Amino acid sequence: MVIKTKIVVVGAGFAGLKLVQKLDENLFDILLIDKINHHQFQPLFYQVATSQLDPSSISFPLRSIFKNNNSVQIRLAEVLSIDEENNKIKTNIGDFDYDYLVIAIGCKTIFFGNNEISKHSFTLKTTYDAIIIRNHILQTFENIISAKEEDKESLFNLVIVGAGPTGVEMAGAFSEIKKNILPKDYHGIDFSRFKIILIEGTKNTLNNMSENAKIASQKYLLEMGVSFIAETIVKSYDGDTISLFNGENIKSKTVIWTAGVTGNVIEGMPATCFAPSNRIKVNRINKVEGSRNIFALGDIAFMETLAFPKGHPQLANVAINQAKNLAKNFKKIQEGKDTLVYEYKDLGSMATIGRNKAVVDLPFIKFNGYFAWLIWMFLHLMLILSVKNKLIIFINWAWAYFSTDTSLRLILPQSNKEPTEA
């Protein structure tokens, strides 16, 4: 019996999932560890939060994905620390040995040390976060109906902090449901009072995209009734009032924070391997600097190249292709062959602002409008894992486009009921 090399992969995001899918099952025994039992399609979280898609449409059970691959084991666990000297990873369900360890744990929202903001605002990093936002928004309008007049202003103000792709896409989506959907459900509410406010610390929306994308996205948002406050940083938020460093105060019961990320950290990694924002320094084959057999992939990995001296952009395309390259290199290492360095080919970036409105930056052309919106939809649909889910999402999008309505406005509160004894 041939003893296979044991690879432990932590994280089932774009990078971790693609690596496990591409590893040669004849050469490796693979253990995939994640805190949740499904892969989440993060680019469409905002559509769950705004009641446009069902969570199950963008969530893919890991055991179902790998049901035909006997070389893959899956464990639901939280990683506590790494014992690099003994090639061991410690989790809340026990310790696991490895020959190679791959860290693909992604990033989390950063609040720049302001714990008060983190306590009272919403984030959008998981499917569960999206469901919480959806519940809150729908419950807010139920509350408006019976609220006292002096309490309504804070309920009517929805604030989004951060005008990157997530913030812009969410602001546009909320603007559309304000116009097309919510007035049909809540006949007694004056929706002209519902304000969507987007706050950004820099001068522009979509600051990492082209001038065309910045100008077009801001123009679209203003046309859709979104208030854009630029070059302003949030000072504090206590759950009722958000205070800005320009002296302005906004009453709001809903603040969604999309203003930056920092890498998740596992204890046991040497302090010298961390780059800015807690990303892990890796070489050109994604091996952690100073390590013998630990690798890092995707958003958490910081790889300096001549073209990208500040690391690669934190995009799905980067994560997926780093994973493909590492899978090839693991096989080459086993076979004693030279490894392949990772080279990022910039395929462009895009964001959608709403119905028929999107911006696309390709290496050879920048454009916006209806055609950009079609390209955005097509490429995101192609990234969805299963044919069934592609079809479900396409039907949902088509129905929403022609009917300007959805049927997913369910409030699903978490039960606080204690389990009863048998």
Q: Residues 133-186: pLDDT tens digits?
A: 999 999 999 999 999 999 999 999 999 999 999 999 999 999 999 998 888 888
Q: Mean pLDDT over residues 193-222, rounded?
A: 95
Residue 42, phi then psi, degrees to nearest 5 = -60, -35
Q: How confident is the model at residue 112 (pLDDT cuts 50, 70, 90)?
A: confident
Q: Scanning the structure block, which residue is given the tokens 């462009």?
A: 348
DSSP string, 193-246: G-EEEEE-SSSSSSTTS-HHHHHHHHHHHHHTT-EEE-S--EEEE-SSEEEETT
Could you give the CA distance from residue 36 to residue 13 in angstroms, rounded to a whole number? Answer: 11
Query: In angstroms, what CA-CA distances link 259 with 104, 108, 277, 292?
Result: 22, 11, 13, 35
337 contact partners, CB below 8 Å, separation of at least 6: none
Q: How confident is the model at residue 421 (pLDDT cuts 50, 70, 90)?
A: very low
Burial class (CB in 10 A: 0-12, 13-18, 19+), 326: buried
What is the pLDDT at residue 113?
81
- Where do the DSSP E strands lie in 340-421? 349-354, 357-362, 365-368
What is the pLDDT at residue 340?
96
CATH 3.50.50.60 fits 5-35+77-109+261-335, yes or no: yes
Q: Are 369 and 356 spatial neighbours (Cβ–Cβ below 8 Å)?
A: yes
CATH code matching the domain that covers 115-259+350-403, chosen among 2.60.40.420, 3.40.50.300, 3.50.50.100, 1.20.58.220: 3.50.50.100
Global pTM reads: 0.92
Q: Which two tokens stand for residue 291?
A: 């390590």
Decide if 5-35+77-109+261-335 and 115-259+350-403 have a common fold.
yes
Residue 106 falls in which region: left (phi positive, over 0), alpha (psi -120 to 50) or beta: left
Could you give the CA distance from residue 255 to residue 142 in angstroms, rounded to a whole number? Answer: 18
Domain layout of the chain by residue ranges: 5-35+77-109+261-335, 115-259+350-403
Q: Mean pLDDT over residues 371-384, rounded?
A: 93
